[in-house]
């Protein structure tokens, strides 16, 4: 599971773009994400640098929009606190947000909807490794918000979410349908609501029990104000129901609703996968699941046998569990080495991701909720 989040300012911040040390115009920020258990015990911390150079026209455009930092946080099922601190390295001003999230266990999810991501009109781009924020099923979408957003009159509301059920053989779903009902409006007594329906082929669920879908809702004719969308999914065979909702606001044309975003990309896809699984192992261990942690550390070592933090933690847990034969078997599969990784090789100290991305999207401020997806499952989170 991976939590994706958008940490966005509530209004345009002129100081985000400024003069870099080399006198060029650009931006430089540090995003620190501290992952804690529900009761506040530290799990791991990741640090990401968001930096880039912009030209004159990009500077003008950026200063007229809100800025949002995107990130992704690999986690095992459980309840967590995320503390995100965004520091502008140009003026040393920082903002912090804390949010609580629940990462569902696929094996225990009978039928559910993920949180709802609102995405920008920019076409999604291919991300076959799934290493970028808000990447689902090999496609990266530019977020406009999670669970809430602001739009101009007549601007379409573009929604993306996942349906979850227990893992199963997709062939067993042949011929079964899922009905999805959308209703939106002010939800005030006597006020008109807009309703739409669609039917989804349940055979499109993957083996993990995840189905990605979305909908574009029209806001034509809606007056300025606050609105709510309620989504109901019904499995026609079992009659199981799942619900999700979001809010949106129709704002005046003169109000800024767009956001431009930046994120840090993984330089080495293989090492990136190893670090992701290592982080899931750390979180599983802190959730009290030793077997789950061992499974994730094994996956991390399989991703990259030279990733020492995962190998070290795996050997420690196997030893604590009295599984000496597994340690012996492991030593025959991977290169046991004492050559240490750099200090920042362990995400418990810092994120090991390099590179950067820049995109334009739109919306809100604070750390939003991540969208869960597994194709693998993802959980969007806003702030």
CA dist., res. 82 & res. 366, Å (int):
12
Tokens of 142: 């530019």
pLDDT at residue number 361: 35
* Model confidence pLDDT, tens digit, residues 287-343: 999 999 999 999 999 999 989 999 999 999 999 988 988 888 887 766 554 444 443
What is the fold, at CATH topology level, of the domain defined by 2-265+353-382?
Answer: Immunoglobulin-like (2.60.40)
Strands (E), 123-282: 125-126, 135-136, 139-140, 143-146, 148-151, 157-165, 177-185, 194-201, 210-217, 225-235, 241-250, 258-263
Total-model pTM: 0.81
pLDDT exceeds 70 at position 268: yes
Q: Determine the CATH number of domain 269-345.
A: 1.25.40.10
User: Helix (H, G, I), strand (E, B), or coil: what is residue 301?
Assistant: helix
pLDDT exceeds 60 at position 364: no
pLDDT at residue number 4: 92
Phi, psi of 159 (to 5 degrees): -110, 145
Cα-Cα-Cα-Cα torsion 300, 304, 307, 308, nearest 10 degrees, comes to 80
pLDDT exceeds 90 at position 355: no
* Model confidence pLDDT, tens digit, residues 152-209: 999 999 999 989 888 877 777 788 899 999 999 997 766 789 999 999 998 888 888 8
Return left, alpha or beta for 138; rule: phi > 0 is left, psi -120 to 50 is alpha, else beta. left
Cα→Cα distances 124→141, 220, 357, 372, Å:
5, 24, 14, 17
Range 224-239 average pLDDT: 93
With beta carbons less than 8 A apart as the criterion, state whether 80 and 41 touch. no
Residue of 121, 10, 66 lying closest to 262 (CA atoms): 66
pLDDT at residue number 86: 96
CA dist., res. 86 & res. 95, Å (int):
5
With beta carbons less than 8 A apart as the criterion, state whether 314 and 330 touch. yes
For CATH 1.25.40.10, list the domain ranges present in the chain.
Answer: 269-345
Q: Where is pLDDT greater, at 251 or 192?
A: 251
pLDDT exceeds 60 at position 379: no
Distance, C-alpha 25 to centroid of its chain: 29
For CATH 2.60.40.3880, list the domain ranges present in the chain.
Answer: 2-265+353-382
Range 259-281 average pLDDT: 91
Categorize the per-residue pLDDT at 211 as very low, low, confident or very high, splitting at 50, 70 and 90.
confident
């Amino acid at each position: 599971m991976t939590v994706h989040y958008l940490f966005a300012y509530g209004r345009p911040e002129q100081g985000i773009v400024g003069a870099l040390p080399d006198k060029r115009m650009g931006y430089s920020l540090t995003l620190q994400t501290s992952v804690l258990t529900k009761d506040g015990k530290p799990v791991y911390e990741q640090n990401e640098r968001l930096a880039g150079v912009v030209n004159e026209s990009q500077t003008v455009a950026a200063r007229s929009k809100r800025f949002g930092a995107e990130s992704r946080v690999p986690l095992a099922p459980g309840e967590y606190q995320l503390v995100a601190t965004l520091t502008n390295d140009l003026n040393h001003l920082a903002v912090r947000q804390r949010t609580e999230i629940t990462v569902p266990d696929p094996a225990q999810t009978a039928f559910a909807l993920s949180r709802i991501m609102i995405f920008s009109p920019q076409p999604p781009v291919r991300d076959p490794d799934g290493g970028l924020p808000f990447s689902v099923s090999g496609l990266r979408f530019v977020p406009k918000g999670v669970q809430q957003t602001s739009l101009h009159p007549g601007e379409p509301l573009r929604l993306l979410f996942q349906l979850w059920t227990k893992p199963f053989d997709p062939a067993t779903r042949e011929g079964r349908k899922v009905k999805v009902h959308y209703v939106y409006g002010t939800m005030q007594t006597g006020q008109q609501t807009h309703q739409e329906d669609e039917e989804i082929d349940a055979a499109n669920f993957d083996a993990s029990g995840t189905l990605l879908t979305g909908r574009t809702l029209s806001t034509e004719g809606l007056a300025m104000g606050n609105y709510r969308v309620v989504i109901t999914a019904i499995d026609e065979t079992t009659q199981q129901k799942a619900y999700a909702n979001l809010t949106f606001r129709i704002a005046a044309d003169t109000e800024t609703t767009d956001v431009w975003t930046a994120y840090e990309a993984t330089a080495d896809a293989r090492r990136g996968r190893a670090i992701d699984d290592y982080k899931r192992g750390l979180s599983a261990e802190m959730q009290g699941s030793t077997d789950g942690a061992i499974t994730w550390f094994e996956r991390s070592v399989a991703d990259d046998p030279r990733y020492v933090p995962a190998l070290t933690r795996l050997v420690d847990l196997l030893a604590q569990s009295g599984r000496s034969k597994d340690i012996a078997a492991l030593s025959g599969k991977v290169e046991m080495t004492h050559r240490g990784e750099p200090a920042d090789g362990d995400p418990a100290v810092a994120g090991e991701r390099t590179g950067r991305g820049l995109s334009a999207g739109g919306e809100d401020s604070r750390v939003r909720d991540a969208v869960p997806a597994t194709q693998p499952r993802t959980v969007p989170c806003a702030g």
